[in-house]
Structure 1
Amino acid sequence: MLNLTVHVKPGSRKGPLVVDDAESTPEHASVTVFLQQRAVEGAANDALVALLAKHFKVAKRDVSIIRGHTSKIKHLRIDRS
């Protein structure tokens, strides 16, 4: 299981892109995610889950948003089976 802090940049022209943050440590992983989807009706959250599942090579059901459903800073849990 991996706990991850994610800084989301919705509506970005760079997206979809996952960038590891410099201050990230094994105990506290942190990434910045650029998404093309806008933060409207959960579209950015859905795209975030799909992108991180692909990035970490897990199923979408193994990626869950713990906190920050309506915030740009989110805390996620990734279950690696």
Structure 2
Amino acid sequence: MHKKVKVKPNSKQQKIEEQPDGSLTVHLKSPPVDGKANEELIKLLSDKFDVPKSYIRIKSGLSSRQKLVEIDKEG
């Protein structure tokens, strides 16, 4: 499954908002420095979709706020 994700780093609280078009807006506490926000994003998505972190890959937008994330349900 592929999801479009809009990341908002340096937020006061962590939360995931599902948008009407199926994309996600993810509020992260981490700053976008040294991959910390990407690590937090992967952890939050693994909790939401109940899959191990290794099943989630950022396909594009590694250093952007707009990302395309692949979530593999079977590994």
TM-score by length of structure 1 reads: 0.89
Map of 1:11 onto structure 2: 10
Q: Percent identity among equivalent residues? A: 34
1:19 alignment partner AA? E
Map of 1:27 onto structure 2: none
Map of 2:45 onto structure 1: 52
Map of 2:35 onto structure 1: 42
After TM superposition, which residue ranges in structure 1, 4 or more long, deviate above 3 angstroms? none
Cα displacement (A) at 1:23: 2.0
Q: In 2, Cα distance between the equivalents of 1:6 and 1:23?
A: 11
TM-score by length of structure 2 reads: 0.95
2:38 aligned counterpart, secondary structure: helix
Q: Tell me the C-alpha RMSD between the 2 structures.
A: 0.6
Residue-by-residue CA offset, 1:58-79 (whole Å, 9 max, x unaligned): 0000000000000000001000
What are structure 1's unaligned runs of at least 5 residues? Answer: 25-29
Q: In 2, Cα distance between the equivalents of 1:23 and 1:77?
A: 17
What are structure 2's unaligned runs of at least 5 residues? Answer: none
The alignment of Structure 1 onto Structure 2 pairs a total of residues equal to 74
1:55 alignment partner AA? K
The one of 45, 64, 67 equivalent to 1:74 is: 67
